Amino acid sequence: MNNTKSKKPYLTTGEIAKILYVTRVTVYNWIKLGQLKASRVHQGKYRVSKNVFAEFVKQHKLENSIASEILAIPTVKILIVDDKPDVVGTIKAFLEKANPHYHVVMATSGFEAGHLISSFRPDVVILDMVMPGLNGFSVCRRIKSNHLARVTKIIAVTTYSSKENLEKIRKEGADAILTKPFDCKKLLAIVKKLTK
């Protein structure tokens, strides 16, 4: 697989077969049917540009970790922290459907979030501020005091939208604030803005 990670701008049919876990015959069929554009080189072999392959992968929803790594498709790591598992599950499903390059992990407590911030190193944390035990304010402080996690963007989620509470959240280092209930599309827009 090492040769697929080289700087060459094309892939062979064999490399594509390995990346997508299909046979070479399947790749040849895609080419013959015009689904995958390829250039014919010596001895009847085909070469597919990485750009063409990237479009094919997206169009047919064939993304996987190997394809992403080879094509240098960036993965945005997102951690959702809320003590209500159904809320976390809904947000996770929405974000993963919205963008297949979002790697979303869930935590249902501030303690669990603290562990994941060190091991998972998220790009974005969607953080409920009011949780039993270690609350969102404490988690915010831990993120901002951790030199490895300082670049992590924090989207604070709260039901308390008083001026004093919002100011307190900003002081803890939140990059954006959403008040409950919120539209998942609005959350998505904030994630996109923070991860440009």
Q: What is the pLDDT of residue 66?
A: 67
Q: What is the pLDDT of residue 63?
A: 74
- Rounded CA-CA distance 122/103 in Å is 9
Q: What is the pLDDT of residue 69?
A: 63
Residue 173, domain extent: 76-194
pTM above 0.75, yes or no: no
Same domain for 148 and 56:
no
Q: What is the pLDDT of residue 95?
A: 94
Q: What is the pLDDT of residue 10?
A: 84
CATH of the domain at 10: 1.10.1660.10
- Rounded CA-CA distance 115/132 in Å is 17
CATH of the domain at 134: 3.40.50.2300
Domain-ending residue, one of 46, 70, 94:
70
Classified as helix, coil or strand, 15 is helix
Backbone angles phi, psi at 156, to 5 degrees: -85, 135
Q: What is the pLDDT of residue 3?
A: 43
- Rounded CA-CA distance 138/154 in Å is 13
Q: What is the pLDDT of residue 1?
A: 40
Q: What is the dihedral of CA 25, 28, 30, 32, to 10 degrees?
A: -130
Residues in the chain, pLDDT under 50? 1-5
